[in-house]
Amino acid sequence: INHIVHNGGLYKRPFNEAFEETPMLVAVLTYVGYGVLTLFGYLRDFMRQWKIEKCQNATEREEQKDFVPLYQDFENFYNRNLYMRIRDSWNRPICSVPGAKVDMMERVSHDYNWTFTYTGRVIKDIINMGSYNYLGFAQNAGTCQEAAAKVLSQYGAGVCSTRQEMGNLDKHEELEKLVARFLGVESAMAYGMGFATNSMNIPALVGKGCLILSDELNHASLVLGARLSGATIRIFKHNNMQSLEKLLKDAIVHGQPRTRRPWKKILILVEGIYSMEGSIVRLPEVIALKKKYKSYLYLDEAHSIGALGPTGRGVVEYFGLNPEDVDVMMGTFTKSFGAAGGYIGGKKELIDYLRTYSHSAVYATSMSPPVVEQIITSMKCIMGEDGTTVGKARVQQLAENTRYFRRRLKEMGFIIYGNEDSPVVPLMLYMPAKIGAFGREMLKRNIGVVVVGFPATPIIESRARFCLSAAHTKEMLDT
Amino acid sequence: VQEKEELIEEWQPEPLVPPVPKDHPALNYNVVSGPPTHVITVNGKECINFASFNFLGLLDNEKVKSAAQASLKKYGVGTCGPRGFYGTFDVHLELEERLAKFMRTEEAIIYSYGFATIASAIPAYSKRGDIVFVDEAACFAIQKGLQASRSNIKLFKHNDMADLERLLKEQETEDQKNPRKARVTRRFIVVEGLYMNTGDVCPLPELIKLKYKYKVRIFLEESLSFGVLGEHGRGITEHFGINIDDIDLISANMENSLASIGGFCCGRSFIIDHQRLSGQGYCFSASLPPLLAAAAIEALNIMEDNPDIFQTLRAKCKRIHKALQGISGLKVVGESFSPALHLQLEESCGSRENDVKLLKRVVDYCMNGGIALTQARYLEKEEKCLPAPSIRVVVTVEQTEQELDKAASLLKEAAQSVLN
């Protein structure tokens, strides 16, 4: 089903998203597959209980056997029976830079994935389609690394204090000014962890008596932040503007659920690119709705900053909109900048408020100096301020890679989700057996991919996800 | 429909954030130029650092820095992915093994942010309907973890075992009324080894007795006591001589003694393995940058090779604890072997704001005299039990005896001039 574009006039460029429905036969087979696995699971549990089969989990201490059990049996059912069989597709340890090609430590399992032993051999030069390395800044040589090495020898690795106490280094101030300039906002603030940025700042902005409208497929950090804030949460269908508008209308007209008092604030939480679907948010429509109903917009650009837009400024630039329309622009440095951490950008009053009242500024250690230096150098490179055009070239290379890869996969007949321009490419697999088989077969051909199934995706829609990078060359993609 | 349109027109939301007054004490940060080590340049002035939690002085250590440099050359800076998707490096696995061996437990798990460690560990085990007994003076990260877990929270007075026993007995009588429910509600006690807000230790031996009597599991948060207490720095279990298997989960952050970033949890495999699939800060977030993991490994090496630094640190703590007694107007809060002390006003001036202003003047006087101090910062509206405003004094191994004496005398002078 192709989504029809409403308000076509707001879009300055074609917006093609496609989410093909799963063919009926495949859906039935998938359910059958899961049914068989569940039956086998019960059978094996039964055998384990009657000690016919050996029980290989870790167990509780002898002295504590009469305590209330720590885990419910049913919770672990999925873990024991389904996850264990294909566990070797995840948590693969690597021992080199997570660039376009990686070296992976080989591991074998002699007892069906309950334990792994490392053979000590290293599989070299696996094409890496799994790391979030969009602009290829995960390098161990070059200007970024040299700058980071210098800062490391000068400042040390840690900071040992919080931002508000003694941890605010001059490097942090430099970084924040740079981020604000990059995004085109008044001011910005940086934090040590992307997940924590969301979960600690949403509670500082909204509280009881406020309404949060969040997309169906928002990331765990946004959901956790919304829950911790204590505000009422309502969910609208993924990227569906009619659903959002209906919720907004109802909220303003009816007010809070029992008291009918008007809401204090309404905050809309959306992401730039959704990592499991590969879809891009319909930002022009969201901004139009936000202005009409006087609510506030919180945009999480974890995957889209650096990856979209002609100069890598993210989804706001991709649509050609004004960054001042978005009230809170949040993003992470892990994906496109090859470092770690998160930031929030916006008006000066917002950032001043966050400097005083954010949980992270008061209680959490500030960012490590070499990481800060890596972000500063890579951001300057993308903006072109270091005098070369390497940054712009990388952004363009990523866009080309994306288009080429998607086109070729479609030609080969696979079902691909998501927007034409998003560098996250999910390829549908559906059947549980295929998940494990796909991962292992690709590894045999020296390609490392990421497969995801339940619970990160709906149960019949498991997929393999490719993350494209500017460092991938055409030959690598052809393989 | 006309009415609806009118309502929509009339509704005015609050501004997204209320304006912050320009002279709010937490708004203007101290800017530190250069590394925050023993001698620190704050706002342009060189001072001796009594404010960073760099207990073992490893922030500036050359071996640690060169190990991090080697890792930087091999891996670059970031890991570009969570642990599940090609974000697990051999340094992470090595660090987890080393930590487990050092603490003499079966397994350890690493998080990339200290705050997220305990805030993700608690909700992984304790769900809606479970009961958690927690000390009043628990730090904010624990409070956030408890809030995320949606369990029933019961606070007991700080370090008061009688109060805790009373709560446990009440819970027992509740259980007898409804035995079926009691069989599935899990119970936990969450305590800190060395409390950040008050500087004293928890009475662990009595807690162990209560654990077996009332069948409650213990989660121990050792952020300040890891690398400080105990003969070899293993924390409060070594300090009291308790078998480490008696504690269900020990959580600590590597940002204090190990001078790196991140945190870890250690315990038996039965407990730690669960976090690999259900710890939110572990599964949904990028892993620790390898250079920081390499720095932590090297710091662990140094800790294992020089076990006498812990004795030196404790001696220095005792010295300054004694020297700071008897300052008129300020009282010392904290044990004599705790490296993070608080100095609170003996008599409050009435409002918290005025107390904070007064303490700021003391801190400024000391900064002008060449000693860098800071006030302990809290989020006033969000803490469950807000501690009184105080100045934080941190002792590190690198401070010489003259510097300790100088700090004490400068604080005396400051208190004299500002408070009288």
User: Does B386 reach chain A within 8 Å, measured CB to CB?
Assistant: no
User: Does A246 reach chain B within 8 Å, measured CB to CB?
Assistant: no
Residues of each domain in chain A carrying CATH 3.90.1150? 1-128+415-478
In 3-state terms, what secondary structure has residue B415?
A: helix
Confidence of residue A1 (pLDDT cuts 50, 70, 90): very low
What's the pLDDT score for residue A112?
65
From B278, B305, B332, give the residue that closes a domain. B305
Place of tokens 């630039």: A317
Closest partner CB to B20 (pick from A195, A328, A352): A352
Beta bridge partners of B190: B134, B219
Which residues 310-369 on chain B approach chain A with CB closer than 8 angstroms? none
Closest partner CB to A196 (pick from B30, B89, B113): B113
Closest partner CB to B256 (pick from A67, A160, A292): A160
Tell me the per-residue pLDDT of A149-183, one tens digit each, with 9 for 90 and over: 888 888 888 888 888 877 788 888 889 999 998 88
Place of tokens 């697990």: B88
Nearest CA in chain B to A374: B77
Tell me the per-residue pLDDT of A322-371, one tens digit each, with 9 for 90 and over: 888 888 889 888 888 888 888 999 888 888 888 888 888 888 888 888 88
Q: What is the DSSP letter of B398?
A: T
In a domain, B33, yes or no: yes
Place of tokens 């945190």: B263
Phi, psi of B405 (to 5 degrees): -65, -40
CA B361 to chain centre: 26
- Chain A interface mutation, best of B77, B208, B390, highest count of A Cβ atoms under 10 Å: B77
Residue B126: domain span: 62-305
Angstrom distance (rounded) from CA B86 to CA B133: 38
Q: B298 with B323, same domain?
A: no
User: Does B378 reach chain A within 8 Å, measured CB to CB?
Assistant: yes
User: Does A371 reach chain B within 8 Å, measured CB to CB?
Assistant: yes
Angstrom distance (rounded) from CA B137 to CA B386: 8
From B250, B271, B305, give the residue that closes a domain. B305
Closest partner CB to A220 (pick from B16, B113, B284): B284
Angstrom distance (rounded) from CA A171 to CA A117: 43
- Helices A283-293 and A241-254, axial angle in degrees (round to 10): 10
- Chain A interface mutation, best of B8, B24, B45, B86, highest count of A Cβ atoms under 10 Å: B86
What's the pLDDT score for residue A78?
66
Using alpha carbons, list the distances in angstroms from residue B398 to A156, B39, B394: 16, 10, 11
Closest partner CB to A68 (pick from B74, B119, B184): B184
User: Does B295 reach chain A within 8 Å, measured CB to CB?
Assistant: yes
Contact B90 A173 (CB under 8 A): no
Measure in Å the smallest separation between the Cα of B127 and chain A Cα atoms: 10
Angstrom distance (rounded) from CA A4 to CA B50: 62
CA A244 to chain centre: 22
In a domain, B9, yes or no: no
Closest partner CB to A338 (pick from B65, B80, B271): B80
Contact A166 B270 (CB under 8 A): no
Phi, psi of B35 (to 5 degrees): -70, 140
Closest partner CB to B29 (pick from A164, A264, A365): A164
Beta carbon pairs, A and B, within 8 Å: 348
A228 vs A8, which has greater pLDDT? A228
In 3-state terms, what secondary structure has residue B31?
A: coil
Contact A158 B59 (CB under 8 A): yes
- Neighboring chain A residues of B57 at a CB cutoff of 8 Å: none
- 8 Å CB contact between B289 and A229: no
Total count of domains within chain B = 2
Which residues 148-167 on chain B approach chain A with CB closer than 8 angstroms? 148
- Neighboring chain B residues of A105 at a CB cutoff of 8 Å: 90
Nearest CA in chain B to A126: B86
Contact B215 A91 (CB under 8 A): no
What's the pLDDT score for residue A367?
86
Helices (H), B11-105: 62-75, 90-103
Q: B49 with B66, same domain?
A: no
Closest partner CB to B51 (pick from A98, A166, A173): A166
Closest partner CB to B29 (pick from A92, A168, A296): A168
Contact A139 B76 (CB under 8 A): yes
Confidence of residue A5 (pLDDT cuts 50, 70, 90): very low
**Reported pTM:** 0.88
- 8 Å CB contact between B121 and B274: no
What's the pLDDT score for residue A2?
39
Q: B73 with B114, same domain?
A: yes
- Asked which of A104-118, A345-359, A440-454 is least confident by mean pLDDT, the reply is A104-118
Q: B55 with B194, same domain?
A: no
Q: B50 with B147, same domain?
A: no
Measure in Å the smallest separation between the Cα of A167 and chain B Cα atoms: 7
In a domain, B1, yes or no: no
- The yes-or-no verdict on residue A81 having pLDDT over 70 is no
| pLDDT > 70 in chain A, percent | 84
Q: B196 with B218, same domain?
A: yes
CATH fold for the domain made of A1-128+415-478: Aspartate Aminotransferase, domain 1 (3.90.1150)
- 8 Å CB contact between B316 and B236: no
Q: Which range scores top for mean pLDDT: A9-13, A16-20, A338-342, B299-303?
A: B299-303
Angstrom distance (rounded) from CA B281 to CA A196: 8
Measure in Å the smallest separation between the Cα of B413 and chain A Cα atoms: 23
- 8 Å CB contact between A251 and B13: no
- Asked which of A72-76, A184-188, B170-174, B275-279 is least confident by mean pLDDT, the reply is A72-76
Q: B139 with B229, same domain?
A: yes
Contact B114 A365 (CB under 8 A): yes
Contact B116 A293 (CB under 8 A): no
Angstrom distance (rounded) from CA B373 to CA B379: 19
Which residues 298-327 on chain A approach chain B with CB closer than 8 angstroms? 327
Measure in Å the smallest separation between the Cα of B42 and chain A Cα atoms: 8
Beta bridge partners of B131: B152, B187
In a domain, B8, yes or no: no
- Neighboring chain A residues of B289 at a CB cutoff of 8 Å: 339-340, 368, 371
What's the pLDDT score for residue A3?
42
In a domain, B356, yes or no: yes
- 8 Å CB contact between A267 and A206: yes
From B264, B286, B305, give the residue that closes a domain. B305
Q: What is the DSSP letter of B20?
A: P
Angstrom distance (rounded) from CA A447 to CA A445: 6
Q: Domain holding B331: CATH number?
A: 3.90.1150.10
Tell me the per-residue pLDDT of A261-298, one tens digit each, with 9 for 90 and over: 788 888 899 988 888 888 888 888 888 888 888 888 99
In a domain, B4, yes or no: no
User: Does B307 reach chain A within 8 Å, measured CB to CB?
Assistant: no
Residues of each domain in chain A carrying CATH 3.40.640.10? 143-383
Using alpha carbons, list the distances in angstroms from residue A50 to A53, A62, A292: 8, 20, 64
Q: B349 with B385, same domain?
A: yes
Q: B127 with B39, same domain?
A: no
Q: How many CA atoms lie within 13 A of B408 on its CB side?
A: 23
Find all residues with CB under 8 Å of A231, minimum gap 6, and list them: A206, A207, A208, A209, A210, A211, A212, A267
Find all residues with CB under 8 Å of B344, minimum gap 6, and list them: B330, B331, B333, B388, B389, B390
Q: Which range scores top for mean pLDDT: A54-63, A84-93, B59-68?
A: B59-68
In a domain, B12, yes or no: no
CATH number for the domain running over A143-383: 3.40.640.10
Q: B25 with B44, same domain?
A: yes
Measure in Å the smallest separation between the Cα of A289 and chain B Cα atoms: 12
Q: Which residue type, as a one-letter code, is found at position B274? A: H
- The yes-or-no verdict on residue A54 having pLDDT over 70 is no
3 state SS for chain A = CECCCCCHHHCCCCCCEECCCCCHHHHHHHHHHHHHHHHHHHHHHHHHHCCCCCCCCCCCCCCCCCCCCCCCCCHHHHHHHHHHHHHHHCCCEECCCCCCEEEEEEEECCCCCCCCEEEEEEEEEEEECCCCCCCCCCCCCCHHHHHHHHHHHHHCCCCCCECCCCCCEHHHHHHHHHHHHHHCCCEEEEECCHHHHHHHHHHHHCCCCCEEEEECCCCHHHHHHHHHHCCEEEEECCCCHHHHHHHHHHHHHHCCCCCCCCCCCEEEEEECECCCCCCECCHHHHHHHHHHHCCEEEEECCCCCCCCCCCCCCHHHHCCCCHHHCCEEEEECCCCCCCCCEEEEECHHHHHHHHHHCHHHHHCECCCHHHHHHHHHHHHHHHCCCCCCHHHHHHHHHHHHHHHHHHHHHHHCCCECEECCCCEEEEECCCHHHHHHHHHHHHHCCEECEEECCCCCCCCCCEEEEECCCCCCHHHHHC
What's the pLDDT score for residue A419?
72
Q: B45 with B137, same domain?
A: no
Nearest CA in chain A to B18: A353
Nearest CA in chain B to A359: B379
What's the pLDDT score for residue A477?
67
What's the pLDDT score for residue B247?
87
Q: B35 with B173, same domain?
A: no
Nearest CA in chain A to B375: A165
Taking alpha carbons only, the member of B18, B66, B129, B85 closest to residue A98 is B85
Is the link from the previous residue into A455 a cis peptide, with omega within 30 of 0?
yes
Closest partner CB to B8 (pick from A133, A252, A367): A252
pLDDT digit of tens for each residue in chain B (420 aa)? 777 777 777 777 777 777 777 767 677 777 888 787 888 888 888 888 888 888 888 888 888 888 888 888 888 887 888 887 888 888 888 999 999 999 888 889 999 888 888 888 888 888 888 889 998 888 888 888 888 888 889 898 888 889 999 998 998 888 888 888 878 888 899 998 888 888 888 888 988 888 888 888 889 988 888 888 888 888 888 888 888 888 888 998 888 888 888 889 998 888 888 888 788 888 888 888 888 899 999 999 988 888 888 888 888 888 888 888 877 778 888 888 888 888 888 777 778 888 888 888 888 888 888 888 888 888 877 777 888 888 888 888 888 888 888 888 888 888 888 776
- The yes-or-no verdict on residue A203 having pLDDT over 60 is yes
What's the pLDDT score for residue A7?
47
